[in-house]
Amino acid sequence: MSPRSIRIAIAGAGNVGSFVAKDLRAKGHEVVVIEQNEALIASLKDELDVSWVRGTRARLHTLDARPS
């Protein structure tokens, strides 16, 4: 049985969110990170091979946004 790749959204790019995102990408999953801090996104964009949505995870329009 081959492993299945899934799409996962992570709310927050702090220490835990970044670690989980990096681990899941290493396992071949598609990861979207939702983060409202633009400076944090800029500092992690080169380090994390994930899609980003800038916004508050509690807002419906953020959850409907297309990742960049």
pLDDT tens for each residue of 11-60: 999 999 999 999 999 999 999 999 999 999 999 999 999 999 998 766 65
**pTM of the shown model:** 0.82
> Facing residues of 52 across strands?
33
The H helix count followed by the E strand count for the chain is: 3, 3
Cβ(7)–Cβ(27) under 8 Å? no
CATH numeric code, 7-63: 3.40.50.720
